[in-house]
């Protein structure tokens, strides 16, 4: 099936290192549509030489870029935002084709990505420092914010536009230069965004991108980890890879932002608005087929409303339409690849073997395609099951019955992760108690859709550190320099 985008040049199919170029060894790898496993594009399979060239370019461009007045950097970012918005349809189609999400979600992701670019265009001009009251006569004290230097951005496949925008926009706004490696499964959207950044006026060398296959991801990133000229790693992805990056960058003590895996609890108390809770769970869980770091992974429902909630949920989940992004009615697309479906199937089997019962779904959908899994509701889930301990990253809702608030808060926190948590209640005292007790970076209270460019996004515990978006997001790419003038 043709991609049907208006601008074919949004598929440059090459690295961008000051100019569009092939990998130095000329290698390429294929990009497939997860809906059909059909190859429809290819991009450079870069190695260490390409990573080094990108770093040289970013390092060479840093001195001039940091000297560009913040207002001018902001204007370039605003033009980038305008171009992203103007190409929403093409970019949405590209996301849906390489990542698999329904087209409405692909378009929505473009708008979400653009919102970060616009936000940081505005933030660029607000990197104010401090004038500090001096403790002695004849002295003046100041704190200035400065860009950290070259930033390496490493991104996952589940939000190929948003994850790039959330890193590159604040880095450029702060006056940093960037080297970037997108995920193997979704390199095309990121190349298209870089193409638009070039058109917006980002100078050569300031933003560099190299694509690589999974086999060469570490080869590329290790060059950046080991080089002292890279001053910051901004990573979104799994916790094991995040820990590896933290260890390996320790020798050069880089600044780190790690947006890692989650295992979000979703709690429904007896006093909740049950219909609102079902809707909130549907929105939070089934966006991107459950392949979202803030997706509820464990659902706890208090005994008094458990059966009503489970019935209503099962009815809504059974009605979800599964199919390729190209089908306008699809609400759940394919999973990203066969490995993802294997993991989901393993979690469902394990839960059933340990006593859970399938209310809806529970199996692959080979008639639709190899990478599809039916939206699933399990009841009778417990803490011993793989689906409670690991991120399933798919359209599976394991429901656990609970009795008391203390019991459920302890269960919700009994995980090394701490990205998102959700709960539904109408008791104002409980709302504050539970919101404060949950160990998570983001808490949805009677709300399933949390993310916004104006809000700080990030985790605690093994979900990482650092925040993207909000008035705090720019600081991740800056350091404070203290100036003290005496003899006045």
Interface residues with ligand NAP (CB under 6 A)?
A: 154-158, 181, 183-184, 214, 217-218, 221, 236-238, 241, 244, 259-262, 293, 391, 419, 459
Q: How many CB atoms lie within 10 A of CB 384?
A: 11
Would you say 397 or 419 has its CB closer to ligand NAP? Answer: 419
Residue nearest to ligand NAP (CB): 237
Considering the complex, what minimum distance in angstroms separates the CB of residue 387 from ligand NAP? 15
Would you say 56 or 391 has its CB closer to ligand NAP? Answer: 391
Considering the complex, what minimum distance in angstroms separates the CB of residue 20 from ligand NAP? 21
> Crossing angle, helix 70-86 and helix 162-174, to 10 degrees?
160
Q: Judge contact between 74 and 125, C-beta under 8 A.
A: yes
Torsion over CA of 380, 337, 47 and 174, rounded to 10 degrees?
-60
Considering the complex, what minimum distance in angstroms separates the CB of residue 326 from ligand NAP? 24
Active-site position among 293, 387, 391, 476: 293
CA 169 to CA 474: how far, in whole Å?
Answer: 9
Among 475, 284, 472, 298, residue whose Cα is nearest residue 387: 298
Would you say 24 or 238 has its CB closer to ligand NAP? Answer: 238
Q: Classify each residue of 8-41 as buried b or exposed e, where b means 16 or more C-beta atoms within 10 Å of its C-beta.
A: eebbbbbbbbbeeeebbeeebbebbbbbbeeebb
Strand partners, 28: 44
CA 79 to CA 83: how far, in whole Å?
Answer: 6
Q: How many CB atoms lie within 10 A of CB 182?
A: 26
How large is the greatest C-alpha to C-alpha distance in the chain, in angstroms? 80
Considering the complex, what minimum distance in angstroms separates the CB of residue 63 from ligand NAP? 28
Q: Is 293 noted as a catalytic residue in this protein?
A: yes
Considering the complex, what minimum distance in angstroms separates the CB of residue 241 from ligand NAP? 3
Would you say 220 or 348 has its CB closer to ligand NAP? Answer: 220
Would you say 291 or 425 has its CB closer to ligand NAP? Answer: 291
Give the tokens for residue 397.
Answer: 């809702």
**Residues marked as catalytic:** 259, 293
């Amino acid at each position: 099936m043709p991609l049907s985008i208006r601008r074919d040049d949004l598929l440059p199919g090459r690295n961008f290192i000051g100019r569009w170029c092939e990998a130095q060894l000329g290698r390429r790898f294929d990009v497939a549509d997860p809906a059909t496993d059909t190859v429809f594009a290819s991009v450079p399979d870069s190695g260490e030489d390409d990573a080094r060239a990108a770093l040289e370019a970013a390092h060479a461009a840093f001195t001039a870029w940091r000297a560009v007045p913040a207002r001018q950097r902001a204007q370039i970012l605003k033009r980038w935002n305008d171009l992203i918005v103007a190409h929403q349809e093409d970019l949405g189609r590209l996301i849906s084709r390489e990542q698999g999400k329904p087209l409405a979600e692909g378009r929505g992701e473009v708008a979400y990505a653009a919102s970060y670019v616009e936000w940081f265009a505005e933030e660029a001009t607000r990197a104010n420092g401090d004038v500090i009251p001096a403790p002695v006569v004849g002295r003046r004290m100041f704190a200035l914010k400065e860009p950290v230097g070259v930033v390496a951005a490493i991104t996952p496949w589940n939000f190929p536009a948003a994850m790039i925008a959330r890193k590159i926009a604040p880095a450029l706004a702060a006056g940093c230069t960037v080297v970037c490696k997108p995920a193997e499964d979704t390199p095309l959207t990121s190349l298209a965004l870089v193409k638009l950044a070039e058109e917006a006026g980002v100078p050569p060398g300031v933003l560099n991108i190299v694509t690589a296959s999974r086999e060469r991801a570490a080869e590329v990133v290790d060059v950046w980890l080991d080089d002292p000229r890279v001053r910051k790693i901004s990573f979104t992805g799994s916790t094991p890879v995040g820990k590896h990056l933290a260890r390996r960058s320790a020798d050069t003590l880089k600044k780190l932002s790690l947006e890692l895996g989650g295992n979000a609890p979703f709690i429904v108390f007896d006093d909740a608005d049950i219909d609102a809770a079902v809707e909130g769970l549907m929105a939070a869980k089934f966006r991107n087929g459950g392949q979202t770091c803030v997706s509820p992974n464990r659902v706890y429902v208090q005994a008094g409303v458990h059966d009503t909630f489970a019935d209503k949920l099962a009815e809504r989940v059974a009605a979800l339409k599964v199919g390729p992004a190209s089908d306008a009615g699809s609400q759940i697309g394919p999973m990203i690849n066969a490995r993802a479906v294997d993991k989901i199937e393993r979690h469902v089997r394990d839960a059933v073997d340990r006593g859970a019962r399938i209310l809806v779904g529970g199996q692959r959908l080979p008639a639709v395609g190899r990478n599809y899994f039916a939206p699933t509701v399990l009841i009778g889930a417990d803490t011993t099951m793989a689906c409670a301990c690991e991120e399933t990253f798919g359209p599976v809702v394991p429901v656990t019955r609970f009795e008391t608030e203390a019991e459920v808060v302890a269960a919700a926190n009994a995980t090394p992760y701490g990205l998102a948590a959700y709960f539904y209640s109408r008791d104002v005292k409980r709302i504050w108690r539970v919101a404060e007790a949950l160990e998570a970076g983001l808490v949805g209270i009677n709300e399933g859709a949390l993310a916004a460019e104006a809000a700080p996004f990030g985790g605690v515990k093994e979900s990482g550190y650092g925040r993207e978006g909000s008035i705090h997001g720019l600081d991740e790419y800056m350091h404070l320099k203290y100036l003290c003038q005496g003899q006045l």
